[in-house]
């Protein structure tokens, strides 16, 4: 081979390698996203979040969008200084599929961390532990183990973490079987159990806690899993976004904001009394209508939710106009003689006067609180003062400061109030001893009753609308 031929061959090889290298480089550039997920969010000024419509995630409240996931999403978007857009999917399977297809940046829908999900997605920080629970209806032969689920009409939501858990158990109990619903979410299946249309389902404990208050006959058969963690899900390639979420969550925890959000949505669900809640649901239909207009009038006059006044009144008197306690408080709002006089109430046994007096007094207490106490905490503080007296609330706020807690947050104050019954604490305080557990329970129960009442009102309106549409269709035909 002569020298000229060698140069030609060598040149050809260099050119070929360069071309191959160029194509390889071009291919990489074509497949590489122009921006990372975090950069994309900031460039577009929009955070897109996938969720589902449920009381434990995202729903339309009386003042607009609400729910644990909504509150977290809103605060994270504020942290990024961008707008946010919520995309609601019907069920968990649709959410997972949408996230895989890049229809959103984050899936925030009460999703638990599972082995299968870890293969495809990144988890954000854990912010709430839950257990998977088998839920059936009171009155049936209750299963208490996996083996006893064999032959039970068991339904779960398609794509939910419950399917993954059941599949693991099926390797031990081959006869275990269940149906998967693509149309109904977990809440829908719980309602089906309550209606006796199916025997049992599986749900996370936070979902069960919320829904047992609406359907008191639901009963937890046994826990299907140990504690699992709820978190947000992101694409595997969203490393920058995931790090930003982790840093922000750490800040949220340190400030006590995460505890406040969880308290807002779950701070009242620990109380469950089957008999009491069943009775309350009956009295919503039988007793409440006698006083509804009085509650609405007073609420309008003093700028309060009428459902809050009704819930407080139920806690006070069970909606009995002539109620009386051994301590001398009387009427549907259980006013003392002194308070009634101050609020302009001539007769505590007159329900209209009592409701107006109670509403006026609650607003008066709210106005006495420092401006830095914001809603919804401001309402909980005022309710606690209605029960135990404003002086003890001032004492509890002082004690909170001394213990390094936030005196303006209800989730901190409710941990301090019970200490007012302990001498080593109350002897140093201006207003002294108080049965501090009582206002905590008082507020919890009112929040519980209000939440149930508001849901019952929504359901009643939906039934009316459905009946109206049916009647309109008949008339048109």
- Minimal CA–CA distance to 449: which of 247, 273, 251? 273
Sequence-ordered list of residues with C-beta below 8 angstroms from that of 470, at least 6 positions apart, any chain: none
Distance CA 72, CA 257 (A): 10
In the block, tokens 């049992």 appear at 200
CB atoms inside a 10 Å sphere around CB 24:
10
CB atoms inside a 10 Å sphere around CB 372:
9
In the block, tokens 């595997």 appear at 236
| Catalytic center residues | 316
Beta strand 46-52 pairing with 106-107: parallel
In the block, tokens 């003689």 appear at 337
Sequence-ordered list of residues with C-beta below 8 angstroms from that of 216, at least 6 positions apart, any chain: 274, 277, 278, 281
Please report, in angstroms and rounded to a whole number, the separation of the first and last CA atoms in the chain: 97
Contact 236, 120 (CB under 8 A): yes
Q: What is the 3-state secondary structure (H, E, C) of 258-279?
A: HHHHHHHHHCCCCCCCHHHHHH
């Amino acid at each position: 081979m002569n020298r000229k031929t060698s140069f030609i061959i060598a040149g050809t090889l260099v050119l070929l390698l360069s071309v191959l290298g160029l194509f390889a480089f071009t291919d990489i550039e074509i497949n590489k996203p122009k921006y990372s997920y975090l950069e994309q969010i900031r460039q577009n000024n929009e955070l897109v979040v996938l969720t589902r419509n449920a009381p434990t995630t995202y729903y339309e409240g009386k003042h607009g969008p609400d729910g644990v996931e909504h509150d977290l999403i809103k605060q994270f978007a504020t942290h990024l200084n961008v707008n946010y857009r919520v995309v609601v999917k019907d069920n968990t399977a649709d959410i997972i599929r949408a996230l895989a297809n890049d229809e959103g940046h984050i899936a925030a829908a009460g999703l638990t961390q599972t082995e299968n999900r870890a293969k495809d997605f990144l988890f954000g920080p854990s912010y709430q532990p839950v257990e998977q629970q088998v839920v059936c209806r009171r009155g049936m032969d209750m299963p208490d183990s996996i083996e006893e689920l064999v032959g039970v009409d068991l339904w779960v939501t398609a794509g939910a973490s419950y399917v993954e858990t059941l599949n693991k158990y099926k390797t031990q109990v081959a006869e275990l079987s269940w149906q998967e619903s693509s149309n109904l979410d977990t809440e829908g299946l719980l309602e089906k159990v309550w209606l006796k249309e199916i025997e049992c389902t599986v749900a996370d404990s936070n979902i069960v806690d919320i829904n047992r208050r609406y359907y008191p006959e639901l009963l937890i058969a046994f826990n299907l899993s140990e504690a699992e963690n709820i978190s947000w899900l992101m694409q595997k390639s969203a490393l920058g976004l995931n790090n930003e979420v982790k840093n922000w969550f750490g800040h949220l925890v340190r400030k006590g904001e995460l505890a406040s959000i969880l308290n807002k949505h779950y701070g009242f669900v620990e109380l469950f009394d089957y008999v009491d809640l069943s009775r309350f649901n009956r009295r919503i239909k039988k007793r409440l209508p006698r006083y509804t207009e009085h509650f609405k009038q007073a609420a309008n006059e003093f700028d309060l939710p009428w459902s809050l006044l009704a819930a407080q009144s139920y806690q006070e008197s069970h909606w009995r106009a002539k109620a009386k306690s051994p301590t001398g408080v009387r009427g549907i709002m259980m006013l003392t003689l002194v308070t009634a006089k101050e609020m302009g109430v001539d007769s505590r046994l007159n329900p209209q006067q009592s409701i107006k007096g109670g509403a006026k007094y609650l607003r008066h207490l709210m106005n006495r609180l420092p401006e830095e106490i914001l809603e919804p905490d401001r309402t909980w503080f005022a309710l606690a003062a209605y029960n135990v007296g404003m002086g003890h609330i001032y004492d509890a706020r002082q004690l909170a400061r001394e213990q390094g807690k936030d005196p303006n947050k209800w989730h901190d104050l409710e941990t301090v109030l019970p200490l007012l019954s302990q001498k080593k604490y109350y002897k140093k305080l201006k207003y002294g001893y108080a049965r501090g557990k009582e206002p905590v329970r008082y507020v919890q129960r009112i929040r519980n009753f209000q939440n149930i009442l508001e849901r019952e009102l929504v359901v009643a309106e939906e039934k009316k609308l459905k009946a109206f549409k049916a009647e309109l269709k008949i008339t048109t035909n």
